[in-house]
């Protein structure tokens, strides 16, 4: 089955997408800023793995690309992580998806999600 990375997968739409994909049999690797962002550890047990990094920080975004590459090439990356009206919004919403994708092994597909209030 395809290997998929979902950023911002600890809550909301990212978590829902990751769970739905995992239930369909995909190998899903989830992303969060830190391990503490997954209070329900059983979520991680159903996933193919996890990567961690604060996407508002360039160094952590690059480190996350290295973590992701340890899983091998991804069939898809779902860029879901985002912030709304917060410091670092430009970095998280625009720069990090570009930087992460450029720094990791080239995925077959890129999917960008966004939402508004």
pLDDT tens-digit map of 31-62: 999 999 998 889 999 999 999 999 999 999 99
Note the pLDDT tens digit of each residue in 74-113. 999 999 999 988 888 999 999 999 999 999 999 999 999 8
Supply the Cα-derived Rg of the chain in whole angstroms: 13
In three-state form (DSSP H/G/I as H, E/B as E, the rest C), the secondary structure along the chain is: CCEEEECCCCCHHHHHHHHHHHHCCCEEEEEECCHHHCCCCHHHHCCCEEEECCCCCHHHHHHHHHHHHCCCCCCEEEECCCCCCCCCHHHHHHHHHHHHHHHCCCCCEEEECCCCC
How many degrees, rounded to 5, is the angle at CA 45 between CA 55 and CA 47?
Answer: 55
- The dihedral through the CA atoms of 65, 69, 71, 72 has a sign that is positive
List, in order of start, the domains of the chain with CATH numbers. 3-112 (3.40.50.720)
**pTM here?**
0.95
Q: Which residues contact 90 (CB under 8 A, 6 or more apart)?
A: none
pLDDT beyond 90 at 23: yes
């Amino acid at each position: 089955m395809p290997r998929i990375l979902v950023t911002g997968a600890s809550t909301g739409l990212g978590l829902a997408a990751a769970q739905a994909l995992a239930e369909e049999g995909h190998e899903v690797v989830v992303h969060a800023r830190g391990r503490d962002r997954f209070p329900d550890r059983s979520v991680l047990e159903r996933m193919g793995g996890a990567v961690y990094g604060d996407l508002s920080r360039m160094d952590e975004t690059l480190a996350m690309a290295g973590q992701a590459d340890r899983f091998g090439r991804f069939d898809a990356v779902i860029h879901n992580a985002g912030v709304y009206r917060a410091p670092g919004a430009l970095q998280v919403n625009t720069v990090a998806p570009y930087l992460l994708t450029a720094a990791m092994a080239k995925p077959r597909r890129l999917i960008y999600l966004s939402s508004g209030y």
